[in-house]
Amino acid sequence: MPKLVVAMTGGIGSGKTTVSEIFASLGIPVIDADRIVSDLLASLPIRQLIRRHLGRGCLDRQGLINRGFLRQTIMADPSRRKRLEGILHPRVWQSIENGIKKSDAPYCLVVVPLLFETGQQHRFDRTLIIDAPDYLRIRRLRHRPGWNLQHIRTMLSLQVSRRLRLSLAQDRIENHGTRKQLQDQVEKLDRFYRQLAAAKDVQDSFGVSSRAS
């Protein structure tokens, strides 16, 4: 089990996926909360639960999740949002815990796009934010197929502000330069996290417990 678990967050389009790929190329296991949610939404038992608790309309004719409808319905109705979170969140955290336990790297990275929105930062040893100015994020997102300005604004409105996120995270990667600059920052942080993990190893061997269970 890794000595250090780092949560990575950042606004949509800030570069989380790109940064994860760089960490992965350095041999660091990456667990992605969004991917876990997608896998859960694709599973039959979860689709059945969602239909029971949020209504038939959340599924399409094939019985698959109608993501657009689901997003709209939870935005319009906070009680439905709570119900959906009640179904997904405990399972997502369980899956993240399992993923962490399986890994034997010195540290691992968990990508949690809504880390501060869900108030779950206490679960991790460190928090890392990928930051980019809003104009750049919007410009990047406009290249995504099917993403118009209105959709981008809606997605941005669901997330905490850049300023709040910056004030909450311990570590930061600035992604407003070139890919090479991004790579350099990740490599530097990788060295730092490896040092922190090694220091914890030493603490543990002196009988000081360093990870909350």
For residue 146, give every residue at least 6 positions away whose Cβ sits within 8 Å of its Cβ, in sequence order, or none.
none
Contact region for ligand ADP (CB under 6 A) — 22-30, 92-100, 145-153, 175-183? Answer: 175-183
185 binds ligand ADP (CB under 6 A): no
110 binds ligand ADP (CB under 6 A): no
Residue placing its CB nearer to ligand ADP in the complex, 120 or 175: 175
One of 3, 15, 115, 189 touching ligand ADP (CB under 6 A):
15
140 binds ligand ADP (CB under 6 A): yes
- Taking residue 50's Cβ as centre, other Cβ atoms within 10 Å add up to 21
162 binds ligand ADP (CB under 6 A): no
3-class SS of residue 171: strand
Residues that contact ligand ADP, how many (by CB under 6 A)? 14
Residue placing its CB nearer to ligand ADP in the complex, 50 or 129: 129
H or E stretch at 98: helix 78-102
18 binds ligand ADP (CB under 6 A): yes
One of 6, 7, 8, 14 touching ligand ADP (CB under 6 A):
14
139 binds ligand ADP (CB under 6 A): no
87 binds ligand ADP (CB under 6 A): no
- For ligand ADP, the binding residues (CB under 6 A) are 10, 12-18, 140, 143, 175, 178-179, 182
